[in-house]
Amino acid sequence: MNLLLISNSTNAGEEYLRYPLAQIAQHLKGIKEVAFVPYAGVTFSYDEYEAKVQARFNEIGIRVHSVHHDPSPAATIAAAEAIVVGGGNTFHLVKNMHEQGLMEAILAKVQGGTPYVGWSAGSNVACPTLCTTNDMPIVQPASFSAIGAIPFQINPHYLDANPEGHAGETREQRILEYIEANKQMWVVGLREGCMLRYVDGKLDLIGPRPMRIFHYGIEPYEVQAGDNLDFLLSK
């Protein structure tokens, strides 16, 4: 498989998709057009989302075609050169992907080697489930199950800090709750400005920050870019 799973689209003070663009260009080298899944967008139209991504992808010479234009989004995915899934609300994304049969369609394509790029919610849906999203369940999907292209869970936008005066749970505490209830699952806290690349059976962390690792019965710990991540791929 050829996956590029990005924590966030935009670093503070930067333009949209600026920091990951070089990695996206490398990952999609030779691709002329991508099928774009816009369903995580909620407060703006899918046309606007497509145009926003296209404006950045113009710089790398790739056309963006959003599946919302088509009577059968699953057929569009089946014929796609590459697949891009944007961020936003993960529940809204998963609901629409289930309704359009995209979980199965995308899994079949990526297992056949079709390149996949996702950021934020688009990374989360590459996991077995959406259950490590940070998002509010604004809609109810048919299932929490996601594409399952990777056997572990990602928590995008992972934060260490707890805001001053905030008495609620930290991100780490929420993930510890998840692994208490899902003891077999590995979870990675993917910090902003970072991404995971899974190509030809090899998983790599890319970015300036370490990634936090969670599993039941193990104290959370950090891995760095260049560390061996093969343990995350065992089912």
Residues 6+ apart with CB under 8 A from 26: none
Check the CA dihedral 91-156-100-55 and report its sign. positive
135 is an active site residue: yes
Look up 157 and say whether it is catalytic: yes
Considering only CA atoms, give the Rg of the chain. 17
Quote the CA–CA distance of 113 and 185 in Å, as a whole number: 25
Catalytic-labelled residue, pool 9, 66, 120, 123: 120
Continuous H helices in the chain? 21-27, 46-57, 73-78, 90-99, 102-111, 121-124, 171-181
Who contacts 70 (Cβ-Cβ below 8 Å, separation ≥6)?
76
Question: Annotated catalytic residue: which of 7, 68, 135, 215?
Answer: 135
Is 120 among the residues known to form the active site? yes
Amino acid at site 88: G
The active-site residue, picked from 157, 166, 215, 234, is: 157
Catalytic residues, by residue number, are 120, 135, 157
